Amino acid sequence: MSTITTQATQTLNTTAMKLNHASFPSSDVIATATFFQQHLGCTVAGRGASWILKRPGFDIVIEDAGDHLVEWPHNFHIGFELATLDEVRALHERMAMAGVAMKTAVFKHERGSRFFCEVPGGVLVEINTRSDADEEYRASFGL
């Protein structure tokens, strides 16, 4: 390892790094952006070839892929966390009633209950809570 690389590694504090944005393609940018607005509390900050959606602490950039097929790797997804299981269940019910493509029911998982749905444009979204995570995982979540 070179001296420059070693010095850079010693002064770089990656623990302070935060998520800045997630960017992904959609064959229907408007429908994808509308989903994030209506169901996940995002606000639209920019429209054009890419739409920029704001969330507290990070952005979601939706790239226009209307001219080509978007194929997602198996189980690629983005996740959002709610505080309680009741909130997860309520959002699942609201999305299902709105006609969102639900991929699962709410189910118990060792790291907390969750469900999966598909956003218009094809990206898989996980909504979870850590409030009911198994004891062995709680410490790593700060619970």
Place of tokens 């699942």: 92
Q: Would you say residue 61 lies in a domain?
A: yes
Position 6 in a domain: no
Point out the domain boundary residue: 68, 101, 125. Answer: 68
Considering the domain boundaries, does residue 43 fall inside one? yes
Give the amino acid at 23.
S
Beta bridge partners of 51: 62
Chain Cα centroid distance, residue 70? 18
Overall number of domains in the chain: 2
Angle at 41 between CA 19 and CA 92, to 5 degrees: 105
- Is residue 26 one of the residues assigned to a domain? yes
Of 53, 68, 83, the one marking the end of a domain is 68
Note whether residue 132 is domain-resident: yes
Instruction: Provide the 8-state DSSP code for 141.
Output: G
- Residue 143: alpha-carbon gap to chain centroid: 21
Residues 138 and 100 in one domain: yes
Q: 81 and 36 in one domain?
A: no
82 and 133, same domain (yes or no): yes
**Residues pairing with 81 in the sheet:** 128
In a domain, 13, yes or no: no
Are residues 138 and 82 part of one domain?
yes
Sign of CA dihedral 26, 27, 32, 33: positive
**Domain interval for residue 128:** 72-143
CA-CA distance, 112 to 143, in Å (whole number)? 12
pTM of the model: 0.81
138 plus 124 within the same structural domain: yes
Residue 80 lies in a domain: yes
Answer left, alpha or beta for residue 57, where phi above 0 means left and psi between -120 and 50 means alpha: left
pLDDT tens for each residue of the chain, 143 residues long: 455 555 555 667 777 777 788 899 998 899 999 999 999 999 998 888 789 999 888 899 999 988 888 888 888 899 999 999 999 999 999 999 999 999 999 999 999 999 999 999 889 999 999 999 988 887 776 65
The beta-strand segments (E) located in the chain are 21-26, 43-46, 50-55, 58-64, 77-82, 101-102, 114-118, 124-129
**One domain for residues 94 and 138:** yes
Instruction: Give me the numbers of helices (H) and strands (E) for the chain, helices first please.
Output: 4, 8
Q: The CATH number of the domain where 43 resides is what?
A: 3.10.180.10
